[in-house]
Amino acid sequence: MSLKEEAGAMDSSDGFGSISAPKTAMQKELEAKRLAALGKEEGRAAAKGVKRREKEEKEAAREAEREEAEWARERSMLSATASAAGRTGANTSQRACDIRLVDVTVSVAGKVLLEDASCLILLGHKYGLIGRNGTGKTTLLRHLAAKALPGISAGTTILHVEQEVEADERSALECVLQADVVRSGLLAKVAEVEARGDSSSAEDAAVLAELYEGLNGIDADSAPARAAAILSGLQFDVDMQGKKTKAFSGGWRMRLALARALFVQPDVLLLDEPTNHLDLHAVLWLEQYLVSYPGTLLIVSHARDFLNGICTDMVHLHRHKLHQYKGNYDSFEKTRAERLLNQQKAFENSEAKREHIQEFIDKFRYNAKRSTLVQSRIKALARMAEVEAVEDDGEYHFTFPDPGSVRGTVLNFQDVAFGYSPAGPPLLQGLNLSIDDRSRVALVGANGTGKSTLLKLITGDLAPTSGWITRSGQVRYAMFGQHHVESLDLRRSPLAVMVERFGEHHKEDALRSHLAGFGVTADLGKRPIRVLSGGQKCRVALALMTFTKPHVLLLDEPSNHLDIDSVDALIDGLSSFEGAVLMVSHDGWLIEGVAKELWNCEGGTIDVFKGEFDDYKRRLVKEINS
């Protein structure tokens, strides 16, 4: 339809093409002017549309050029770095240590975790892998470690720290040194040749010379000192380094597994919640160590301070895709918030335009005079690019039940001392502490200084060697620790466990509602606990321990295995809890978000720390660097 026909159709007095009265000369003149104006306006609109599209295409091209240039610069810099490093076996292609995942799909037990996901992992970069519990972060690490995904060179060494070392007769130091299989193999061959007792022969002398040259090439003599330094940073003192691995608990054997990985220095090191078994001192040491790690890091962690201190890039596993961001976790949060805001604006603009076009189509669909216009609008609607709506995850909420009114001091320690052996020195002594109905206390200090012991003294699981502990008879206590998570019946569902413990006096709807208050949805509540992620199991354990409406929450590393969103929800929940909180934690974000007071466990006693958490961290960093 021509401009005149379109204008005439718009002038029609009804919507069905009725015949208008003959126009006067003046009306015809006005119509001509209006047609001219309409033509100009349409022409300007069309020109603007063309210019806008050209601008968008140019901008997209420039962005592609910038990304290509940045990629070329990074590869050039990394290649130069690899050459300068002079590592054995290095080559101009960076030993093909980059990992390029393209359109990867991963499913476990019929559940899709990754679908057509792509990601570029560059040598020397330090990545934080983040995403909600149950989205597949640990599964991705396992697939990378097994080289079960395309895009990984066979020559790339990848190590995933997942399981604790075996409990056996080896010392802690020997356990770490034996992780270097090249060094161990050369030393074994040297011992074999020397055991023959004929090292003076020309043949054996040549073999030994070659073996010693190999040992010198990998700086084997310095290995014991390097291994000891790593163990020391992870809080193994000299005596502990000589102890057999079977003498250590599972948590300490996990530290040994981490020490072995740091000692070997693979091309790609995969760490899944590496801070879970560490105290704050060891966490700060590990952070400093990993900043200068020469290879590639991919870290799953709930501790945002830890990620902020180490990561150069973030990989967000969200809705089966891998989204990459430059910078640390704080940068990721800011950039992602901006992206979501822009995406929502683009979606709303697109929907408004679609609605406007659709209104025209619906209004004039059966108007014969406007059929050409309607078809044009239908084609325009079909050509419009799809703009996806923002599909962000819903917020988590941790709803701690109101315990009821209890005022004043609920617990008091008077000159309390405790020791596990009556004949030995006490672990704790001279404790004069108190907790009131709104206390928010974080216990800090090295592992083994008595933090968990104090919690057991409060609950009555341990009795003091001397002194008095006064408890209010009306106060209910609840304790959360890792063993509460590990003791869950993996064959049962969360709802079944709740019904078994509390179903006699409470309706099932009330139990479901309580689980939902800790992010355990109706669907998760019906699944066997064995298929839940570590963070989901933690939320189940928290729901179980709080159903009795305790007045005092005793929390031993409550953020272990939670994702970052869950930690934020835990902070909000504890901040609004109408009771007292006493927790042991290495997570600085959690401590700063909840605690109003720090109790420092050190030198066989526990004192109130005079200062803020940042002051305490600075003191530890000074000790580490001294």
Nearest to 552 by CA among 432, 454, 417: 454
Residue 29: the pLDDT is 62
Q: Are 162 and 139 in contact (CB under 8 A)?
A: no
- Confidence tier at 176 by pLDDT (50, 70, 90): very high
| Rounded Cα distance, 6 and 245, in Å | 87
Same domain membership, residue 515 and residue 388: no
Q: Which domain holds residue 139?
A: 97-157+266-393
Chain segment 218-257, per-residue pLDDT in tens: 888 899 999 999 999 998 999 999 999 999 887 888 899 9
Nearest to 561 by CA among 584, 599, 524, 587: 587
| Rounded Cα distance, 69 and 26, in Å | 64
* Residue 298 reports pLDDT greater than 50: yes
Same domain membership, residue 370 and residue 343: yes
Same domain membership, residue 325 and residue 441: no
Lookup result for tokens 């002594």: 429
- Confidence tier at 11 by pLDDT (50, 70, 90): very low
* Cβ-based burial of 423 (10 A; exposed 0-12, middle 13-18, buried ≥19): exposed
* Residue 341 reports pLDDT greater than 90: no
| Rounded Cα distance, 493 and 526, in Å | 5
Residue 14: the pLDDT is 39
| Rounded Cα distance, 309 and 328, in Å | 8
Same domain membership, residue 465 and residue 316: no
* Residue 620 reports pLDDT greater than 90: yes
- Confidence tier at 12 by pLDDT (50, 70, 90): very low
Mean pLDDT, rounded, for 455-467: 93
Same domain membership, residue 487 and residue 345: no
Which amino acid does the sequence have at 393?
A: D
* Residue 267 reports pLDDT greater than 70: yes
CA atoms within 13 A on the CB side of 535: 27
Task: Describe the chain by its helix, strand, coil percentages, rounded to 5.
Answer: 50, 15, 35
Same domain membership, residue 446 and residue 345: no
Which amino acid does the sequence have at 617?
A: K
CATH of the domain at 368: 3.40.50.300
Which of 42, 61, 85 terminates a domain? The answer is 85
Same domain membership, residue 426 and residue 356: no
Q: How far apart are the first and last CA of the chain?
A: 84
At residue 458, the 3 state secondary structure works out as helix
Residue 541: the pLDDT is 92
* Percent residues over pLDDT 90 in the chain: 51
| Rounded Cα distance, 217 and 164, in Å | 30
Domain count, the chain: 3
Residue 280 maps to a domain: yes
Mean pLDDT, rounded, for 7-13: 40
The DSSP code sequence of 253-312 is: HHHHHHHHHHHH--SEEEEESTTTT--HHHHHHHHHHHHT-SSEEEEE-S-HHHHHHH-S
Residue 380: the pLDDT is 87
Where is pLDDT greater, at 195 or 348?
348
Residue 471 maps to a domain: yes
Chain-centroid distance of CA 290 in Å reads 17
Token digits of residue 300: 């799953």
Q: Are 425 and 590 in contact (CB under 8 A)?
A: no
Where is pLDDT greater, at 598 or 197?
598
At residue 121, the 3 state secondary structure works out as strand
Q: How many Cβ atoms from other residues are within 10 Å of residue 103's Cβ?
A: 11
At residue 329, the 3 state secondary structure works out as helix
Residue 199: the pLDDT is 53
Residue 14 maps to a domain: no
Same domain membership, residue 601 and residue 453: yes
Chain segment 397-424, per-residue pLDDT in tens: 899 999 988 888 899 999 999 999 888 8
Least confident of 20-24, 94-98, 465-469: 20-24
Mean pLDDT, rounded, for 456-470: 93
Token digits of residue 314: 């973030």
Residue 422 maps to a domain: yes
- Confidence tier at 384 by pLDDT (50, 70, 90): confident
Say what angle helices 25-85 and 3-11 make with each other, to 10 degrees: 120
Chain segment 44-86, per-residue pLDDT in tens: 554 555 456 556 555 544 554 554 455 444 444 434 433 444 3
Residue 271: the pLDDT is 95
* Cβ-based burial of 13 (10 A; exposed 0-12, middle 13-18, buried ≥19): exposed
* Residue 42 reports pLDDT greater than 80: no
Residue 30: the pLDDT is 64
Which of 35, 61, 85 terminates a domain? The answer is 85
* Residue 294 reports pLDDT greater than 50: yes
Nearest to 426 by CA among 469, 459, 467, 455: 467
DSSP 369: G
DSSP 498: H
Secondary element (H or E) of residue 346: helix 329-364
Same domain membership, residue 594 and residue 462: yes
Query: What's the mean pLDDT when you consider all of the chain?
Result: 84
Lookup result for tokens 């079944």: 496
Residue 106: the pLDDT is 94
- Confidence tier at 382 by pLDDT (50, 70, 90): confident
DSSP 461: S
Mean pLDDT, rounded, for 387-405: 83
| Rounded Cα distance, 96 and 318, in Å | 28
Chain segment 104-127, per-residue pLDDT in tens: 999 988 889 999 999 999 999 999
Which amino acid does the sequence have at 495?
A: L
Residue 431 maps to a domain: yes
Same domain membership, residue 135 and residue 52: no
Residue 307: the pLDDT is 96
Residue 86: the pLDDT is 39
Lookup result for tokens 């596990």: 420
Q: What per-residue string of b and e applies to 255-276 under the rule 16 or more CB within 10 Å gives b?
A: bbbbbbbbbbebbbbbbbbbbb
- Confidence tier at 155 by pLDDT (50, 70, 90): confident
DSSP 18: P
* Residue 185 reports pLDDT greater than 60: yes
Same domain membership, residue 441 and residue 379: no
Residue 193 maps to a domain: no
Residue 112 maps to a domain: yes
Nearest to 132 by CA among 283, 7, 300, 264: 300
Lookup result for tokens 């006096």: 505
Which of 345, 362, 393 terminates a domain? The answer is 393
φ and ψ of 159, to 5 deg: -130, 130
Same domain membership, residue 130 and residue 68: no
Least confident of 94-103, 132-141, 347-356: 94-103
- Confidence tier at 143 by pLDDT (50, 70, 90): very high
Residue 118 maps to a domain: yes
Residue 292: the pLDDT is 92
* Torsion angle in degrees (nearest 10) through CA of 463, 466, 468, 471: -10
Nearest to 477 by CA among 402, 556, 553: 553
CA atoms within 13 A on the CB side of 217: 13
The pTM of this model reads: 0.75
| Rounded Cα distance, 577 and 518, in Å | 13
